[in-house]
């Protein structure tokens, strides 16, 4: 009996931690929205580790289009592993959107990309150790910095889907990150 309880305790405690990427621990399940970790990866630039990233969805999927198009809450959790200026961080997001959308689509998204850039400018820098979340709760995207809202919500499920395409689109920022976020890495 005692050995069964011990085994259950180990299984329960290990299920709370789903992944560890570059020393960053990502939980299996988060609130709000009762989201599960779909996958986690490491963004590198040249030979530098830039951030650990986790994708949280209502249910797991290995299909990028399903992850992007599925309704309901989602979270992209980014844990900075080095300092990145706000302008550089914002430009990287904008480049990812442009790479995965037609010119007309990117132009239509531009005002909201600028809203997000303005919020990042207020933050000033994505510092090493900072947790940045892009949360979607059904109609708006809220940027969270270390768990606290930064700026005002940015409207539109289309905008959130555009952000997801940065990592999951046909031309992702990094192929192995896409694979990892879809549970394959």
More confident residue, 78 or 185: 78
Mean pLDDT score, 39-64: 95
Q: What is the mean pLDDT of the chain?
A: 89
pLDDT interval class at 48 (50, 70, 90) = very high
pLDDT digit string, tens, across residues 25-39:
999 999 877 899 999
pLDDT digit string, tens, across residues 4-21:
434 334 344 444 456 899
How are strands ordered across the β-sheet holding 29-30?
Answer: 29-30, 35-45, 48-57, 74-80, 131-136, 140-145, 148-155
Q: Are strands 74-80 and 131-136 parallel, antiparallel or unpaired?
A: antiparallel
pLDDT digit string, tens, across residues 169-179:
999 999 999 99
pLDDT interval class at 45 (50, 70, 90) = confident
Query: What's the confidence (pLDDT) of residue 3?
Result: 45
CB 116 within 8 A of CB 160: no
- pTM for the whole structure: 0.87
Closest CA to 132 of 57, 43, 53, 73: 53
CA distance 50 to 127: 10
Q: Report the Cα 179 to chain-centroid distance in Å.
A: 14
pLDDT digit string, tens, across residues 114-149:
999 999 999 999 999 999 999 998 889 999 999 999
pLDDT digit string, tens, across residues 87-108:
998 999 999 999 999 999 999 9
Query: What's the confidence (pLDDT) of residue 185?
Result: 57
CATH no. of 2-184: 3.50.70.10
């Amino acid at each position: 009996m005692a050995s069964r309880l011990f085994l259950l305790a180990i299984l329960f405690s290990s299920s709370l931690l789903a992944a560890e990427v570059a020393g960053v621990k990502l939980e299996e399940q988060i609130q709000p929205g009762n989201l599960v970790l779909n996958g986690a990866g490491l963004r590198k630039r040249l030979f530098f580790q830039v951030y650990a990233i986790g994708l949280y969805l209502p249910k797991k999927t290995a299909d990028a289009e399903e992850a992007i198009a599925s309704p309901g809450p989602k979270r992209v959790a980014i844990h900075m592993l080095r300092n990145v200026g706000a302008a550089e961080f914002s430009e990287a997001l904008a480049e990812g959107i442009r790479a995965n959308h037609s010119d007309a689509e990117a132009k239509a998204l531009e005002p909201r990309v600028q809203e997000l850039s303005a919020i990042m400018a207020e933050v000033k820098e994505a510092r090493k150790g900072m947790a940045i979340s892009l949360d979607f709760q059904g109609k708006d995207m809220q940027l969270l910095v270390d768990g606290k809202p930064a700026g005002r919500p940015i409207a539109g499920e289309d905008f959130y889907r555009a952000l997801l395409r940065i990592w999951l689109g046909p031309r992702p920022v990094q192929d192995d990150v896409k694979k990892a976020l879809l549970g394959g890495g």
